[in-house]
Amino acid sequence: MGTTKNYIAFDIGASNGRCMLGKFDGEKLHLETINRFDNCYIRVHDHLYWDVLGLYENIKLSLRIASRNTTDEITSIAVDTWGVDFGLLDNNGNLIGNPYCYRDPHTSGIMEEVFKVVPRWEVFNITGVQFMTVNTLYQLMAIIRAESPAFKIAKTFLMMPDLINYWLTGRKFCEYTNATTTQCLDATGKNWAFQMLGDLGIPVDIFPEILKPGQIVDNISVHVREEIGLGEIPVIAGASHDTAAAVAAVPAYVENFAYLSSGTWGLLGVEIPEPMLTEQVYEYNFGNEGGVFDTIRLLRNMVNMWFIQECTRIWKLAGEYYSWEKIINMACDARPFTAFIDTDETEFLLPENMPQAIQAYCKRTGQNVPQSKGEILRTIMESLAMNYRYSFDILTNILGTPPEVFHIVGGASRNSLLNQFTANALGIPVAAGPSEATALGNIIIQMIAMGDVANIQEARSLLAVSFPTKTFEPRDMRQWDENYETFIGKTNLPPLDGESS
């Protein structure tokens, strides 16, 4: 057996970050947690910001821990984060202010202002991206509306992982998969949509070069090496958008598969070779985001585990803490199909009290109001599963044929009850896992970049051997079919033409 290769993956989500160590012994890939740290937005007056300097300090701390605990050399490093958020640098490379959190309300009403200059269909036809108020395009326009001085001194625009990579290496660039979440990128040209951005008054000279996933950026800088005590370790521009990394790690055994990257947000879609800029994709508000190795992720982005996270946060404030095992058991024991919520409603994006918001929605829509915590949790999970089916049916309409298998990857793939609900709702097998898909996708892109794995197909086969999935077969399909009609009727989702049953 040859020397073990060690890859460091920084996987930073909207609530926490992890430093993960991937160890490849030539036959299987093994994953270890080096360090975990919080990542929470900070409210200052009426705005929400990220503590990006705190994140960077935790990254350096994690590298120190890794250097102490790893006897073999570190092969490479890569960073992935959530999408849409960014930082601005001045002429000297200094960060201008604290980056906004995408949940900040400063983008309220911005979409309509954008469409007065560039019509909505034209924005989609150029970028191919799903319309959401959190998108970078509307955050940039919010800076203009606020008459902020930021653009007067801004020299460089960097997405969150690119900002961290700049501090690690000194090189300024934007990685492709994360850049596609901005709604500022030309979907077919795979470069910044300079004409559209200029028409909107956004300075186009701040946007840097775009690197493809899997390119070697540079070694970590002398400053970082001296501070941490590491050697010349390459930094890889991996799939720096966490969903792109997670999809790369789908251990698919058939070509015709759909996926759900399931965490705080849920991103449901398929891999395709070219962006689909059709009227059907536009009307259903799906989006085309960049995948790895010349693929496109045709997907729909939806609020997901945020519902449960917020409910448990509220209950914790009242002194009641529930483990995930307890949450699943409470939902399992609750009465089925009490009510449904439209999980895409904006009222659920940042409510003061999520349980009360859910109850208020059910009352307003003339449904039974879930009372117990178990009923609230089951309402969330059944509604999520139904929303997955709705998105799956849209994909079937767009593609003309249904995917054969549905893969759930990410942290919420460990939710066995929701996995079973999803199989019941979709009526096809659900393959759950790996739960650490984002970190694993980050690592396999590094392995390909460093020449240790030949291609994405070989990497996915390696993951299938190293991290077996669990399959959930559909049950009680007639009951779920009947309640699907109720779900459509109690939400604002329009019925689909040729809707599958």
Mean pLDDT of 368-383: 98
242 included as an active-site residue: yes
Mean pLDDT of 308-334: 97
Going from the C-alpha of 379 to that of each of 142, 212, 383, the distances in angstroms are: 35, 41, 6
Radius of gyration in angstroms for the set of CA atoms belonging to the chain, rounded to a whole number: 22
Residue 412 scores a pLDDT above 90: yes
Give pLDDT tens digits for 41-79: 999 999 999 999 999 999 999 999 998 877 678 999 999
Residue 388 scores a pLDDT above 90: yes
Residue 2 scores a pLDDT above 70: no
Any idea which residue has 């609530």 for tokens? 15
Q: What token pair was written down for 274? A: 């070219």
**Exactly one of 85, 162, 242, 344 is catalytic; which is it?**
242
HEC string for 113-159: HHHHHCCHHHHHHHHCCCCCCCCHHHHHHHHHHCCCCHHHHCCEEEE
Q: Number of helices and strands (H, E) in the chain? A: 19, 21
Average pLDDT, the chain: 94
Give pLDDT tens digits for 268-300: 999 999 999 999 999 999 999 999 999 999 999
Residue 501 scores a pLDDT above 90: no
pLDDT at 1: 42
Distance between the two ends of the chain, CA-based, in angstroms? 52
pLDDT at 350: 85
pLDDT at 67: 87
**Fold adopted by 5-242:** Nucleotidyltransferase; domain 5 (3.30.420)
pLDDT at 395: 94
Q: Quick one: pLDDT band at residue 253, thresholds 50, 70, 90?
A: confident
Mean pLDDT of 341-369: 94
CA-nearest of 160, 158, 45 to 105 is: 45
Q: Do 412 and 264 form a contact (C-beta atoms < 8 A)?
A: no
Q: How far apart are CA 289 and CA 175, in angstroms?
A: 12
Any idea which residue has 């086969």 for tokens? 461
Is-cis flag, bond preceding 149, omega within 30? no
For 243-303+387-489, which CATH superfamily applies? ATPase, nucleotide binding domain (3.30.420.40)
pLDDT at 255: 83
- The answer, as to whether pTM is greater than 0.75, is yes
CA-nearest of 77, 70, 78, 79 to 4 is: 70
pLDDT at 323: 95
Going from the C-alpha of 235 to that of each of 79, 175, 216, 353, the distances in angstroms are: 9, 12, 6, 41
Bigger pLDDT: 231 vs 361: 361
pLDDT at 497: 63
Residue 119 scores a pLDDT above 90: yes
Could you give the angle at the alpha carbon of 360 between the alpha carbons of 354 and 361, nearest 5°?
Answer: 90
pLDDT at 492: 76
Q: How far apart are CA 159 and CA 182, in angstroms?
A: 9
Q: In which residue ranges of the chain is CATH 3.30.420.40 found?
A: 5-242, 243-303+387-489
Q: Which residues contact 123 (CB under 8 A, 6 or more apart)?
A: 114, 115, 131, 137, 183, 196
Mean pLDDT of 226-236: 93
Give pLDDT tens digits for 453-482: 999 999 999 999 999 999 999 999 999 999
